A and B are shown apart, each in its own frame.
Chain A
Amino acid sequence: MDDNVLLAKYISGDDAALTILVGRYQKELYRFVARQVGNEADAADVTQKVFVSLFLKAKQFEGKSSFKTWLYQIAVNLCKNHFRSNDRRKETSGDDEALDIIQDDTKAEDYILSEYRNILKSAINELPNKQRATMQLRIYQECTFAEIADILSSPLGTVKACYHQAMLSLTKSLKEDSYEPNEL
């Protein structure tokens, strides 16, 4: 059943429609959120908050965009807020230092791979919000540029430029970190 039909059913009092919609999008939304907040531990909470926020505002949905676009719009906003606070927390908590602990039984190559992965993740997380969201919507959620433009409420050209800039910045920053691509 179409998303918009299900949403209409929910608004008219059919709670089962909510569970169907959540079930339909929960995994992809979780993956997006986890990448956005850069912290899988918080992703479950934020994912639930996105859904709750969406259904609380269900009556405000005008149908101008797709349900999915609206869902991601809410997710982007909540993640942005979360990422900002999380980012600040990291600045002051020195959590990154804890990553340096190497278990005795960790193989050297696994450790190197893990380090590369961390470098890449950090580089992505350090991108400006809009660039990061654009990039993640494009490469992980496989959204078209037009969909991303809707989600971010930005002109298509801006989104493309944003993505372009994100990829170049990422490549450049990884080079500066002596990252060797294609190692993962």
Chain B
Amino acid sequence: MNRMSCDEVQSSLVDYIEFELPISQRQQFNAHLTHCDQCRELHDDLQNVLVDAKSIEINEPGAQFWQELPNNVLTAVRQQRQNDARYTPVTDLAMTGMVETTSEFSDDGAVFRDKLGEISGENVLPFRARTERRPVNEMAGKKQPVRHVPATNAQPDNQRQAANTNKPLKPNHAFTTGVRQGTEQSTEQTPVVERFGEKPCSKFSWPKIALPIAASVLIAVSGVLLVNQSGVNNPGGMQFDNETPIFYDSVAAHEQISTGTAMSDKALAALAQTMVPISHQSARFGFTSQNAILNSFSIGALFTETIVYIKSEDSTLVKTHLALLGSAMYRQAGSKRLLQSIEMLKTDIQQDGDTVTNAFRLNQLMNQYAASLKSIADKEFVLFKLGAWSYDFALAALAKDVSLHHKVDEIIAFKAQLQQLGAPAGVTKSLQEINALITKEVMTDGDYRKTVEAVENIRSLLG
């Protein structure tokens, strides 16, 4: 019998243990092991690791999970099929509850129930209805403060905006949507994305809600940076000098963000360095904290919005919104790791087109952020939750989605929590209005419109 060398034995170790070695070679193998300590030791180690690995047990869920899983799968599949058959792509996300803020959320305060697996990314199209923007330099629900502008730049806000955007002048006027807080400065309309020949969405569209939020986040970040850099003594809140020429940059920056022309990270970073805040935080109804401008509500909405854009594969908006989120995390103490994760996600999105995975990852980061808020303050957590919820809810309302009827419990829970936390009466009133609207037996187009208006009102009060 030929004797095997150590090299031959070691390269056949796994085959030997797996009984994949022919019998003739097994005999040679055994013979070698009897006289070679080194190979025997390797063999024993490998064998023992295999035994140990096999002994690792998995803790299984309880019987209830196994009983419910088949039905849960069936329900999820049916729901997904229904969603796939519907038109409104973004509403697919909203309806399937990508961010669910019901009892599961409030139970442990940390978990958004993720249902991304039930969502097909294939049918998601960019949601770009009409965009209307609120001015970045205007606070919600308050009279516009008098700004002291240097003589060389002394021109009305709208003229400055026009100068920056090369667009015709438009007068300031109240929101035609009936929102009771805030005013608009410009209106831009782009074609509504339609599918299967169905009707376009309502004329009320989320971007007019979300974009100012996004802009305010970035602007707020820059404000804090400026304050930190200049060492301003600021015991009562952030103070900003509106006389600085960089005030004008904020208008241009807002425009770039809104139109998605701020493409590169470098450009966004530069914008963050040159912008001033949207308004003084103290003007914010006294409900939100010192960090009001970059508040939890806005960040919640920003997270949800970014997830939607990832799903819709709108690379420009994804990039811009991830940059905004990164800025938001940069601003938050203890969010360094989240910031790193967002940076990694951003890199991966550029390299990997797997939208479901990427959206799933951002959803996880949102959960982590929610958990961190919960551990710090209930108020911030509730605001964040409401921000995330409101975005989904508004999209569902825009699409006239009948599943709004199922949101009653969430609204009641929010109302109670916000009342307890001392939110402005307008917020709870709007929630009450929404509740009344969606519990109607039949919701008319007008009801859906009013629902969106009520959400916008909440946003204007808290965002």
Contacts and interface: CB of A to CB of B under 8 A. Distances in A.
Contacts of B55: 184
Interface string A26-48: 11001100110000100111111
Interface in B59-107: 59-61, 65-66, 69-74, 76-77, 80-81
Given A40-B59, A45-B114, A121-B56, A175 B70 contact: no
Most buried by A among B17, B117, B360, B368: B117
Interface residues of B, number: 53
A120 B59 CA distance: 16
Interface string A163-184: 1100110110011000001111
Contact of B66 (A26, A117, A183): A26
B15 A44 contact: no
B341 interface: yes
B361 A167 contact: no
A47 to B, nearest CB: 7
A31 B60 contact: yes
B60 A88 contact: no
A143 to B, nearest CB: 12
A89 B341 contact: yes
Contacts of A160: 15, 20
A40 B49 contact: no
Interface residues of A, number: 58
A174 B49 contact: yes
A23 interface: yes
Contacts, number: 140
A40 B69 contact: no
B264 interface: no
B184 to A, nearest CB: 39
B333 interface: no
A181 B45 contact: yes
Contact of B72 (A48, A135, A171, A182): A48
B31 interface: no
A184 B341 contact: no
Interface string A100-134: 00000000000000001100110010000000000
A183 B274 CA distance: 61
Given A30-B61, A52-B77, A56-B80, A92 B14 contact: no
Contact of A52 (B56, B118, B360): B118
B127 to A, nearest CB: 23
B357 A85 contact: yes
B341 A92 contact: yes
B1 interface: no
B49 A48 contact: no
Given A30-B60, A52-B118, A184-B52, A15 B80 contact: no
B58 interface: yes
A118 to B, nearest CB: 10
B69 A26 contact: yes
16 contacts: A26-B66, A31-B58, A44-B61, A45-B114, A48-B69, A51-B73, A52-B117, A52-B118, A55-B73, A55-B77, A56-B120, A81-B357, A168-B14, A181-B44, A181-B49, A184-B52
Given A27-B66, A181-B45, 5 more contacts: A34-B58, A48-B69, A48-B72, A81-B360, A181-B44
Nearest 4 interchain pairs by C-beta: A49-B117, A181-B48, A19-B70, A182-B48
